[in-house]
Homo-oligomer: A and B are copies of this chain.
Amino acid sequence: MGNSDKSVVSRLRKLIGEGHYPSGERLGEVAVAEQLGVSRTPVRLAFRTLEQEGLLQRAGKRGFMVREFTEADVHCAVEVRGVLEGLAARRLAEHGLSGALEAELQVWIQRGRDLLAKGYLEERDVDVWSELNRHFHEAIVGSAGSPVIGDAIARNNHLPFAAADSIIIDSEALDREYRKLQLAQVQHELVVQALRHGEGARAEMLMREHAFIGLRYGELLGLGSGRGQAED
Residues of A bordering B, CB below 8 Å: 44-45, 48-49, 51-54, 70, 72-73, 75-77, 79-80, 83-84, 86-87, 91, 144-149, 151-152, 155-156, 159
Closest beta carbon of chain B to A119's beta carbon, Å: 37
Q: Measured between alpha carbons, how far is A72 from B72 in the docked complex, in Å?
A: 33
Known contacts A48-B45, A52-B49, A53-B52, A73 near B147 by CB under 8 Å: yes
**CB-defined contacts of A52 to chain B, threshold 8 Å:** 48-49, 52-53, 155
Q: In the complex, are the beta carbons of B70 and A146 less than 8 A apart?
A: yes
Number of copies: 2
**CB-defined contacts of A151 to chain B, threshold 8 Å:** 54
**CB-defined contacts of A159 to chain B, threshold 8 Å:** 148
Can you list the 10 inter-chain pairs with the closest CB atoms, starting with the nearest? A52-B52, A76-B146, A76-B148, A83-B83, A72-B146, A48-B48, A73-B146, A83-B87, A77-B148, A48-B49
Q: In the complex, are the beta carbons of B73 and A80 less than 8 A apart?
A: no
**CB-defined contacts of A91 to chain B, threshold 8 Å:** 76, 79
Q: In the complex, are the beta carbons of A80 and B84 less than 8 A apart?
A: yes
Q: Measured between alpha carbons, how far is A86 from B79 in the docked complex, in Å?
A: 11
**CB-defined contacts of A54 to chain B, threshold 8 Å:** 148, 151
- With A77-B146, A80-B148 known, 4 other A-B pairs at CB within 8 A are A44-B45, A49-B49, A84-B84, A148-B156
**CB-defined contacts of A75 to chain B, threshold 8 Å:** 146
Closest beta carbon of chain B to A17's beta carbon, Å: 16
**CB-defined contacts of A84 to chain B, threshold 8 Å:** 80, 83-84
Q: A86: nearest residue on chain B (CB-CB)? A: B83
Q: A45: nearest residue on chain B (CB-CB)? A: B48
Closest beta carbon of chain B to A34's beta carbon, Å: 20
Subset of 18 A-B contacts with CB under 8 Å: A45-B45, A45-B48, A48-B49, A49-B52, A52-B52, A52-B155, A73-B146, A76-B149, A77-B146, A80-B84, A80-B87, A80-B149, A80-B152, A83-B83, A83-B84, A83-B87, A84-B84, A148-B156
Closest beta carbon of chain B to A35's beta carbon, Å: 20
Q: Measured between alpha carbons, how far is A152 from B155 in the docked complex, in Å?
A: 8
